């Protein structure tokens, strides 16, 4: 497929910044053309899923299938040796890795690994695509954890959680094609484009589900998860996806989710589900990290749209060291500003916006190691060759929240 959006006489000029009606029409026209940048569904995931479901197929046969793809094999070994699955010595063979992770979890890993390659490709709107993917991974983990409580299939719940917002990924890629064709005024803001993606993603998701021939309930989840609770005859899975959506929205907008906050999430069914989600949140960053591909080299996002200077609301000056793990490397930064929702840093390299990063904050009374979302990454206005980045702590535990609050108050 060429994935070129056809120009028409009335839309030959770039779509003016803020003209949401014109942008909406252009997106709908792209959707109607059905020539969208939809990646292929990872075929190896289907083969491994079928193999894992057969009683006569052993783990060595599953490992052999994985070994037919060198990139996938490396991902499986990395995941098996991640803190989520590490038990004892590091594994060195795929059979050991499959044994440690388990056949069912391997299917989820293979699917996430296959799709992550397309999600992580660089582009002018890559932070929006990465954010949608991280939210999908978070939703998948929540759906899988809650599925037994609702008497649903955990495997199907994971799939629905992972893919229900994949229409956003395709919508963002469609906007990038329009951007490459100079169809968008460069003064469009990232927030306005994100708003359009939110408006359109159900339509794009429905086409993705159809193209991939997904199970009917997963298709419904991708097309209808913003409707009213229980509106479909088989709404259990869709209601579960909606519950995960509400929790994930909290996760991406605040560093910490308290038990009291979860009580206000009405889509969660009772104290048992709130307890399960609370326990999962403590493990969630490590789980997401194990499913993401580490970058060997971080490059600045090629932004050509307007974007905010900062994501910090009421910031105060700060001065303490921060260590970031970027892909396979560790780099030293210095905090310059801090606010309740995050911290601004100066350092030697950019970071991937919209993804997770490990951060160690060298503040009193002792260093605080947290996972954080990359929010902004720009060349430093003060020092040539250095970068100003902003990070937001992600899914802090109770103890981490106490340290974070102290750091915000005393910096």
- What is the model's pTM? 0.88
Same domain for 142 and 233? Answer: yes
Same domain for 207 and 162? Answer: yes
What's the count of helices (H) and strands (E) in the chain, helices before strands?
A: 15, 7
Give me the count of residues in the chain.
411
- pLDDT of 287 strictly over 90: no
Record the tokens describing residue 386, joined without a space.
């250095």
Instruction: Report residue 9's pLDDT band, with 50, 70 and 90 as the boundaries.
Output: very low
H or E element that contains 357: strand 356-361
Q: What is the pLDDT of residue 10?
A: 46
Q: What is the pLDDT of residue 168?
A: 96
Query: Cα torsion for 201, 203, 207, 208, to the nearest 10°?
Result: 10
Q: Which domain holds residue 357?
A: 316-410
User: What CA–CA distances, in Å, run from 1 to 5, 34, 210?
Assistant: 11, 10, 17
In a domain, 152, yes or no: yes
CATH code (residue 357): 2.40.10.220
In a domain, 333, yes or no: yes
In a domain, 91, yes or no: no
Higher per-residue pLDDT: 346 or 306:
346
- pLDDT of 214 strictly over 70: yes
Same domain for 239 and 355? Answer: no
- Average pLDDT, rounded, for the chain: 87
In a domain, 11, yes or no: no
Instruction: Report residue 3's pLDDT band, with 50, 70 and 90 as the boundaries.
Output: low
Q: What is the pLDDT of residue 47?
A: 83
- pLDDT of 180 strictly over 90: no
- pLDDT of 293 strictly over 60: yes
Same domain for 217 and 270? Answer: yes
Find the mean pLDDT for residues 94-104.
Answer: 85
User: What CA–CA distances, in Å, run from 98 to 87, 162, 280?
Assistant: 13, 21, 23
Q: Which of 237, 270, 297 is a domain's end point?
A: 297
Least confidently predicted of 100-109, 123-132, 158-167: 100-109
Record the tokens describing residue 76, joined without a space.
């499986």
Same domain for 255 and 333? Answer: no
In a domain, 167, yes or no: yes
Half-sphere exposure of residue 52: CA atoms within 13 angstroms, side-chain side: 22
Same domain for 207 and 289? Answer: yes
Same domain for 285 and 348? Answer: no
Same domain for 251 and 143? Answer: yes
Instruction: Report residue 13's pLDDT band, with 50, 70 and 90 as the boundaries.
Output: confident
CATH code (residue 237): 1.10.3210.10
In a domain, 198, yes or no: yes
List helix spans (H) across 164-313. 166-180, 190-212, 216-224, 236-253, 259-263, 270-291
Instruction: Report residue 372's pLDDT band, with 50, 70 and 90 as the boundaries.
Output: very high
- If one counts the domains in the chain, the total is 2
Contact (CB, 8 A) for 22 and 15: yes
Half-sphere exposure of residue 135: CA atoms within 13 angstroms, side-chain side: 26
- pLDDT of 122 strictly over 60: yes
- pLDDT of 48 strictly over 90: no
H or E element that contains 317: strand 316-317
Find the mean pLDDT for residues 367-389.
Answer: 90
Same domain for 175 and 290? Answer: yes
Same domain for 246 and 128? Answer: yes
Find the mean pLDDT for residues 149-164.
Answer: 93
Q: Which of 262, 297, 332 is a domain's end point?
A: 297
Record the tokens describing residue 306, joined without a space.
């307007």
In a domain, 231, yes or no: yes
First to last CA, the chain: 53
- pLDDT of 237 strictly over 80: yes
- pLDDT of 235 strictly over 70: no
Which residues make Cβ contacts (< 8 Å) with residue 69, sequence separation at least 6?
Answer: 44
Instruction: Report residue 61's pLDDT band, with 50, 70 and 90 as the boundaries.
Output: confident
Nearest to 268 by CA among 248, 289, 292: 248
Same domain for 343 and 388? Answer: yes
Instruction: Report residue 83's pLDDT band, with 50, 70 and 90 as the boundaries.
Output: confident
Q: How many CB atoms lie within 10 A of CB 319?
A: 11
pLDDT tens by residue, 254-264: 999 999 999 99
Percent of the chain's residues with pLDDT above 70: 90
Q: What is the pLDDT of residue 80?
A: 86
Same domain for 136 and 243? Answer: yes
In a domain, 42, yes or no: no
pLDDT tens by residue, 312-352: 988 999 999 999 987 678 899 999 999 999 999 999 998 88
Residue 117: what are its φ and ψ, rounded to 5°? -60, -45
- pLDDT of 403 strictly over 50: yes
Q: Which of 297, 331, 349 is a domain's end point?
A: 297
């Amino acid at each position: 497929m060429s994935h070129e959006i056809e120009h028409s006489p009335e839309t030959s000029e770039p779509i003016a910044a803020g003209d949401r009606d014109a942008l909406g029409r252009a997106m709908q026209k792209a959707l109607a053309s059905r020539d969208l940048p939809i990646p292929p569904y990872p075929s190896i995931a289907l083969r491994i899923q079928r193999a894992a479901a057969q009683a006569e197929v052993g783990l060595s046969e599953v490992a052999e299938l994985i070994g037919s793809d060198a990139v996938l094999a490396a991902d499986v070994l990395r995941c098996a040796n991640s803190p989520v699955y590490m038990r004892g010595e590091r594994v060195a063979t795929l059979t050991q890795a499959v044994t440690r992770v388990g056949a069912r979890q391997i299917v989820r890993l293979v699917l996430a690994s296959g799709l992550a390659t397309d999600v992580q490709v660089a582009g002018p709107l890559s932070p929006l695509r990465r954010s949608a993917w991280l939210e999908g991974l978070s939703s998948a983990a929540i759906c899988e954890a809650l599925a037994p409580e609702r008497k649903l299939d955990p495997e199907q719940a994971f799939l629905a959680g992972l893919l229900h917002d994949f229409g956003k990924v395709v919508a963002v890629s469609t906007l990038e094609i329009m951007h490459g064709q100079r169809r968008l005024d460069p003064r469009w803001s990232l927030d306005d484009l994100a708003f359009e993606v939110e408006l359109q993603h159900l339509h794009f998701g429905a086409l993705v589900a159809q193209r991939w021939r997904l199970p009917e309930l997963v298709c419904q989840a991708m097309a209808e998860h913003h409707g009213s609770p229980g509106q479909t005859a088989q709404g259990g899975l869709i209601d579960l996806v909606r519950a995960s959506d509400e929790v994930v929205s909290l996760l991406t907008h605040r560093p910490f989710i308290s038990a009291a906050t979860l009580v206000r999430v009405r889509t969660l069914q009772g104290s048992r589900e709130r307890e399960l989600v609370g326990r999962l949140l403590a493990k969630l960053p490590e789980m997401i990290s194990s499913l993401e591909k580490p970058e060997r080299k971080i490059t600045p996002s090629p932004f050509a749209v307007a974007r905010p200077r900062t994501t910090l609301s009421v910031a105060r000056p700060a001065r303490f060291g921060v260590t970031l793990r970027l892909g396979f490397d560790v780099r030293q930064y210095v905090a310059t500003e801090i606010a309740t929702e995050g911290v601004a840093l100066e350092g030697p390299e950019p970071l991937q916006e919209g993804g997770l990063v490990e951060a160690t904050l060298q503040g009193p009374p002792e260093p605080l190691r947290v996972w954080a979302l990359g929010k902004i990454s720009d060349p430093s206005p003060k020092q040539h060759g250095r970068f100003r980045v902003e990070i937001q702590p992600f899914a802090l535990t109770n103890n981490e929240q106490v340290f974070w609050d102290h750091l915000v108050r005393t910096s």
